[in-house]
Amino acid sequence: MVPTKNDLPESTRSKIIALCNEKLAELLDLQLQAKQAHWNVRGPRFYQLHLLFDSVYSAVVELTDTVAERASQLGGSPEGTVQCIAKKSKLPAYPVDLKDGLGHVQALSTAIAAVGKSARQAIDQADELKDKDTADVFTEVSRELDKQLWFVEAHLQAEQ
């Protein structure tokens, strides 16, 4: 860790940095899964889904930056390489053979929901470590992922 005058104890900062890097890997994986869907969607709702998946990607890019910068603020180094993502992300691999729109909607909504659940667990972990600021970061992540999940899942719900 690099020196900082942040008043959180070093042991707390170390644990929070590790937590941020775990969540960063999941968010970067989700970001790439959204792009995979964006590039490969086909079918009658192509254009709308193509745009939706790109907007999910953009939203997640913002979240990855927020989480990575939190690790840096605490004296850590964000670990965002492909190798780190592959090692740390707990998301299932995205099916690269998907083409139909609803298949992508199903796969991407599953991934968004998993990262959202993980973010809520991270809120609790940060609270246990008495780091309200990082808990707030993960609250922001959770809230945004819930919104993105709503946008994506709406394509699976029948018209009322």
- Give the structural domain span for 15: 10-153
Give the pLDDT confidence of 125-136 residue by residue, as tens digits.
999 999 999 999
Whether residue 158 lies inside any domain: the answer is no
CA distance 42 to 48: 11
CA distance 52 to 49: 5
Whether residue 29 lies inside any domain: the answer is yes
Please say if the pLDDT value at position 159 is more than 90.
no
Whether residue 2 lies inside any domain: the answer is no
With beta carbons less than 8 A apart as the criterion, state whether 24 and 82 touch.
Answer: no
Element (H, E) at 4: none
CA dist list (Å): 22 to 100, 114, 160: 31, 13, 40
What CATH number did the domain enclosing 118 receive? 1.20.1260.10
Could you tell me the pTM of the whole model? 0.96
With beta carbons less than 8 A apart as the criterion, state whether 80 and 66 touch.
Answer: no
Number of domains in the chain: 1
Whether residue 55 lies inside any domain: the answer is yes
Please say if the pLDDT value at position 160 is more than 90.
no
Question: What pLDDT is recorded for position 157?
Answer: 87
Whether residue 134 lies inside any domain: the answer is yes
Give ∠ CA 116-120-126 in degrees, rounded to 5.
135
Whether residue 130 lies inside any domain: the answer is yes
Give the pLDDT confidence of 23-81 residue by residue, as tens digits.
999 999 999 999 999 999 999 899 999 999 999 999 999 999 999 999 999 999 999 99
Whether residue 5 lies inside any domain: the answer is no
Whether residue 66 lies inside any domain: the answer is yes
Say which amino acid occupies 44.
P
